Amino acid sequence: MGMVTRYFLLGVLAILTACQTTPVDARCVVLLHGLARTENSFALMEAALEAEGYRVVRPGYPSTEAPVQELMRETIPDAVASCGTDKVDFVTHSMGGILVRSWVAEVGNARVGRVVMLAPPNQGSEVVDTLGYIAAFDWINGPAGAQMGTGTEGLPRRLPPVTFPAGIIAGSQSLNPYFSTILPGQDDGKVSVASTRVQGMTDHLVLPVTHTFMMNNPRVIAQTMAFLNRGRFERNMTWIDGVLDTLQCEDGACLPGADEAD
C-alpha cells in the first residue's frame, strides 16, 4: 500500500474515531518537537490523540536559539500548567526527549505520567561529535544542538536515569548515507538505535522509519497510543491494527461496507 493511501486511510479512520471514541479520563498529553523543527511537525499526532480522547498541548519553542536548560524552563512549565491535570503525559521527538529529562532532573517526576520518546539522543549523537566544530553546523543547530554530543561533556550523558514510565521508539532507516557512516550500528539518519536507549526505560521498540518524519508514520502513531493507553508497546500490531484498535473495531467490522458480501 502506497504512503498516500496510508495517510488518506489514517485520516478517514481518525475522523471515524472522533465520532465515537470514549474520553481517556481527561488525560492530557504535551507534544514536544525536536531540534530545528516546529510544533507543526506534530499536527497529525495531535489529531490522532485528540480523536482518542486526549487533551493535547502542542507548544512551539525556538530550539536553535538557546541551550536546552533555558528552552526547557521557558516551555515545559507553561505547557504542563495548560494541561490543568495532576499528571501529564508527554510525546517527544528527538531533542524534545532531552528537554523532558532535563526538566525532571530539575523539578522531579511528580507531575509526569507516561512518556513516549521518538528517536531521542539519550546517549548523544556521533554526528554532533564529528561535525560540531564546523561553523555552519553550529549556526544551523544552535547552542542546544551543540549539547547533543556523546561525550561526558555532552548533556545527555550527564542526565540521570529516567524515573517515569518511558517508552522509546527508535528508527532503523536512513535518508542520509553520510550521517549513517558516522553513526554506529542501526540508525535513523540522525541518531543510532543504541543511543536511544536509557537506563530506567520501560519499553523499547525499533521500527523501519526515518528520523525527521517518524512522528507522522501510522505505525509510530499507533504504537504511541498503545504505550500511552497501556504502558507498553504492542509488538504484533500493524499500523492498521493500531488505528482499528482505537475504534474498538476488531477486524475492521465497523468500517463502511464491512458487512457487504465479498
Mean pLDDT by 10 residues, the chain (262 residues): 52 50 72 95 95 95 96 97 96 98 97 98 95 79 94 94 98 95 96 98 97 95 95 85 58 53 36
Position 256 in a domain: no
Q: Which helix (H) or strand (E) holds 112?
A: strand 112-118
pLDDT for residue 140: 82
pLDDT for residue 19: 47
Position 73 in a domain: yes
pLDDT for residue 138: 77
Sign of CA pseudo-dihedral 206, 207, 211, 215: negative
Phi, psi of 16 (to 5 degrees): -60, -40
Q: Which of 85, 228, 65, 3 is nearest to 75 (CA)?
A: 65
Q: For the whole model, what pTM was predicted? A: 0.84
Position 257 in a domain: no
Position 260 in a domain: no
CA 43/CA 191 separation, integer angstroms: 23
Phi, psi of 235 (to 5 degrees): -70, -20
Q: Which of 155, 108, 159, 164 is nearest to 132 (CA)?
A: 155
Virtual torsion, Cα 96, 102, 103, 107, nearest 10 deg: 170
CA angle 171, 215, 5 (to 5 degrees): 100
Position 124 in a domain: yes
Position 42 in a domain: yes
The parent domain of residue 164 ranges over 3-251
CATH number for the domain that contains residue 135: 3.40.50.1820
C-alpha cell at 206: 525499533
Position 258 in a domain: no
CA 184/CA 199 separation, integer angstroms: 19
- Put the strands of the sheet holding 28-32 in their side by side order: 55-57, 28-32, 88-93, 112-118, 166-171, 203-207
Q: Which amino acid is at 198?
A: V
CA 127/CA 210 separation, integer angstroms: 15
Total number of domains constituting the chain: 1
Q: Which of 159, 101, 158, 149 is nearest to 129 (CA)?
A: 149
Position 70 in a domain: yes
